[in-house]
Amino acid sequence: MLVRVSSLVICIIMLTAAIAWGKDKDDPAALMARSDAQYYYPTQAGLQDLAVDLVIDELQSSPVGKLAKISYYYVNEDRQRFEVEGLSEQYAKFRDDLLGLVDPMSNYLVPRSSTNAFHGLDLRVDRVSRQIIGRPDTTYFLLVGTANDKDAMVKEYRVLLDAAGLACQIESVLKDGSKLMARIDNTQVGEKWCINRVTTRMVMNNAPQWRIETVEYTQVDGFTMPSVITIRQRNALNQPVKGAQDWTIRLTNYRLNQGVAAAKIPAPPAPPPPADTPAT
């Protein structure tokens, strides 16, 4: 559950956060159309084929870490996947655990477009007054997206944006009525912005905890890509949570627009042509 919600949090933040003062600031459709202008999207910069390896520091001294080769391949949304290779039969049972750990990282590698993220949601925008620690603004815009599907895991998304158009907070209302709140920090890379920290508040065993994902970026063949992603879980005293593992994931051996992913994930066969219509 936490892994999937974390993925949703990142997707929604990246795709709704380009608001600016103007006559269209209260129009959800206009805000969505402008969202891509604020944040950096590798696919908009020309990325068409991505292959990268992931190394997990905390596993390097273990047999699983020494054997496993974890890679991510992306051609488009329908042709992408993580792969874990190299595990012997003895350790094959850990493959799903590794995939579950790295799966949310795809949202940092290839963030989705606004249209795809909010397709099918009922949208509205509210102007709100709020004070957030560490931020000078007092006026924000709250973009609310409500799911029409009664079986959707997340029933409502509430994204808080500042006047400059950057995401500050996101609240996810889950199917069971519980809520997850995340604080967002951004970093500017050239003329664009990237999310470099997501702090999600959770309640476990009746005690608050915070899952903190931090991203460092680097330039690879002209593209801005993640180099290190850390995952930490802390309690109310900012201490490590007992029994919760911290993770440091390094993105290495990038192969961009070299056809590696397309070769790894071939395109599906074209559908057969429609049958000829019988003559009348």
CA distance 78 to 133: 40
Residues of the chain with pLDDT under 50: 1-3, 15, 17-24
Has residue 235 been placed in a domain?
A: yes
pTM for the structure as a whole:
0.84
Residue pair 121/20 in contact by the 8 Å Cβ criterion: no
The pLDDT value recorded for residue 266 is 92
The pLDDT value recorded for residue 114 is 64
The pLDDT value recorded for residue 101 is 95
Has residue 274 been placed in a domain?
A: no
Digit-coded pLDDT (tens) for 27-40? 877 766 666 788 89
Digit-coded pLDDT (tens) for 65-106? 999 999 999 999 999 999 999 999 899 999 999 999 999 999
Has residue 219 been placed in a domain?
A: yes
Residue carrying the six token digits 């604020």:
38
Amino acid at 124: R
Encoding tokens for residue 134? Answer: 């560490």
Has residue 49 been placed in a domain?
A: yes
Has residue 93 been placed in a domain?
A: yes
Has residue 166 been placed in a domain?
A: yes
Our count of domains for the chain comes to 1
The pLDDT value recorded for residue 86 is 94
Give me the domain span that covers residue 88. Answer: 2-264
Has residue 24 been placed in a domain?
A: yes
Has residue 270 been placed in a domain?
A: no
The pLDDT value recorded for residue 126 is 85
